[in-house]
Amino acid sequence: MNMMGIVLAAGQGKRMKSKLYKVLHKVCGKPMVGHVVTALENINTARTVVVVGHGADAVKSYLGDRVEYALQEQQLGTGHAVLQAKDLLESEEGLTIVICGDTPLVSEETLEGMVRLHQDKGAAATILTAEMDKPHGYGRILRDARGFVSSIVEEKDCTDEQRLVKEINTGTYCFDNKKLFEALSLVKNDNAQNEYYLTDVIAILASQGSIIEGYVMKEAIEAIGVNDRLALAEAEQGMRARINRRHMINGVTLVDPANTYIEAEVQIGSDTVIYPGTVLKGDTVIGSDCVIGPQADITDSQLADGVTVKHSVLLEAKVGTGTSVGPYAYLRPGSDLGKNVKIGDFVEIKNAKLDDEVKVSHLSYIGDAVIGRNVNFGCGAITVNYDGFNKQLTEVEEDAFIGSNVNLIAPVKVGKGAYVVAGSTITHNVEPNDLAIARERQTNKPGYAEKLRSKFAAKKKQSVTE
């Protein structure tokens, strides 16, 4: 079966009150039009045309060559928008799904159900509908005695009886492609707005005796069309619930789903536990048997199996199997941790590769560094990577020990098995198995503390008498 998609994305979205083009507003980390195009891709549309207008360049920049484009220079109604795809799709045999770019919750399962009904009934058009307890503001779906759709009546035109109908038009359709464009050529703009309405195609096809079906979506929340920030928040909430449910069904434990934020592209392995307050964003991939949170903020990072992250921020980081991070650690871009690494409290890692079994337990900064296996950093140890002009590299080979409050002034290399004494500032390379001390010799002055106290007391007494 040849199947096409037309995404209506030309509206400016004035009610959003935003500099950002409406369909590029994100829902769970992904622009709304991206959700719609992905749903069409997942049901294997052969061609997808996105009708753009305001903000065309921004939409094209985001979607790239995933789709084809048609330009609607003047916004003259939904029928006029679909007509802009005529030159691209008119000659195609098959069916075409028409969907708005601001309906991010319409799922591929719903689209598949609509297409299946359309084919089974031999319909010329199938309307995606929803049943709402409070359908105010929506066009009502009227059906004949056989159950086929006879017409769509807008709210303002409804009789009192028709207003009681709870089945509404969502604005998504499935058409026989040839019949769609034939009917579009007959649509007139003789209405108060002087616009060409896509709903008129339904009336034209019905008048020709064609079968018009209506597919009722299972979850009415999918019908949300985002026109303002209130609807955007509602869509976000609905998408979050869907994403969280999918992960839980796949074997992930969310201790408190209502207080867990997971964006659309995040992947999580089974038997991982996510604690409240956790935010997982971007292209993050988390393995199995991990413990994430509470209060973990992870973006565009890859975590292997058995990783623990608590009260920490990870951005574009890689974390190996069995490694623990936090609490209160910060892994910045370029952090690459091996297996069974320990990153403790108030530790910051940036653009550094740490091999297996490395321990940086507390209050340290490791930046622009290559750290070998089984290296231990004491409390307060840092790599001094920036000289005010350039970033320099620090290398520490396997089995070395870096004492507390050590400054490694890059560029510098500490050899295998070397020992750097606490409090040292290292400016030259340390050879393998050497012990490095770089601090002033301690001097004790017997009894001098008592002299200092007497001196301070005398000054204090003099200041009081004056």
Q: What is the pLDDT of residues 366-380, one digit of tens each?
A: 999 999 999 999 999
Measured distance CA(296)–CA(260) in Å, rounded: 10
Q: By CB neighbour count within 10 A (0-12 exposed, 13-18 middle, 19+ buried), where does 342 fall?
A: buried
pLDDT the model gives residue 35: 98
Mean pLDDT confidence for 94-106: 98
Longest C-alpha distance within the chain, in Å?
Answer: 111
What distance in Å separates the CA atoms of residue 207 and residue 454, rounded to the nearest whole number?
Answer: 109
Determine what percent of the chain is predicted with pLDDT higher than 70. 100
- The reply to whether 10 sits in an annotated binding site is yes
For range 76-87, the mean pLDDT: 95
371 forms beta bridges with 354, 396
Is 365 within any annotated ligand binding site?
yes
CATH 2.160.10.10 fits 253-436, yes or no: yes
> How many other CB atoms are found less than 10 A from the CB of residue 447?
6
pLDDT of residue 1: 83
Quick one: average pLDDT of 66-92?
Answer: 95
Q: Return the structure tokens found at 391.
A: 């970033």
Strand partners of residue 430: 414
Q: Is 54 a catalytic residue?
A: no
* E strands in 3-74: 3-9, 26-27, 30-31, 47-52, 68-71
Note the pLDDT tens digit of each residue in 180-229: 999 999 999 887 778 899 999 999 999 999 999 999 999 999 999 999 99
Query: In this model, does residue 462 exceed pLDDT 90?
Result: no
Output the CA torsion sign for 33, 156, 166, 162.
Answer: negative
Is 102 labeled as ligand-binding?
yes
Strand partners, 49: 6, 68
Residue 66 assigned to a binding site:
no
Identify the pLDDT of residue 6.
Answer: 98
Checking if the pLDDT of 458 tops 90, the result is no
Domain ranges in the chain are: 3-223, 253-436
Higher pLDDT, 144 or 294: 294
Q: Cα separation of 245 and 234, whole Å? A: 17
pLDDT at 213: 97
Query: In this predicted structure, what is the pLDDT of residue 421?
Result: 96
Residues 258, 297, 345, 365, Cα dihedral to 10°:
-170
Residues 25-45 as b or e (16 or more Cβ within 10 Å = b): bbbbbbbbbbbbbebbeebeb
Check the annotation: does 55 bind a ligand: no
- Calculate the CA 327 to chain-centre distance: 24
Spatial contact of 50 and 33, defined as CB atoms under 8 Å apart: yes
- pLDDT at residue 268, rounded to an integer: 98
Q: Do the domains at 3-223 and 253-436 have one common CATH topology?
A: no
pLDDT in tens, 289-313: 999 999 999 999 999 999 999 999 9
pLDDT of residue 245: 97
Residue 119's pLDDT is 97
Helix, strand, or coil (residue 350): strand
370, β-bridge pairs: 353, 395
Is 303 annotated as a binding-site member?
Answer: no
Q: Which residues pair with 413 in a beta bridge?
A: 395
191 is in an annotated binding site: no
Mean pLDDT of the 71-82 span: 93
| pLDDT at residue 190, as a whole number | 83
139 marked as part of a ligand binding site = yes
Instruction: Give the whole-number percent of the chain exceeding pLDDT 90.
Output: 86
| pLDDT for res 466 | 66
Question: In whole angstroms, how far apart are CA 64 and each of 33, 101, 123, 364, 436?
Answer: 12, 15, 33, 43, 56
Fold of 3-223: Spore Coat Polysaccharide Biosynthesis Protein SpsA; Chain A (3.90.550)
Question: Per the residue annotation, which of 80, 118, 247, 362 is the catalytic one?
Answer: 362
Those residues whose C-beta lies under 8 Å from the C-beta of residue 135, and which sit 6 or more positions away, are: 165, 166, 167, 168
Q: How far apart are CA 360 and CA 324, in angstroms?
A: 11
Q: Of 132, 203, 198, which Cα lies nearest the Cα of 168?
A: 132
Question: What is the per-residue pLDDT across 105-138, written as a single tens digit (0 to 9) for each?
Answer: 999 999 999 999 999 999 999 999 999 998 988 8
* 384-398 pLDDT, tens digit each: 999 889 999 999 999
Put simply, whether the predicted model's pTM sits higher than 0.85 gets the answer yes
Indicate the pLDDT class of residue 80, thresholds 50, 70 and 90.
very high
304 is in an annotated binding site: no
350 is in an annotated binding site: yes
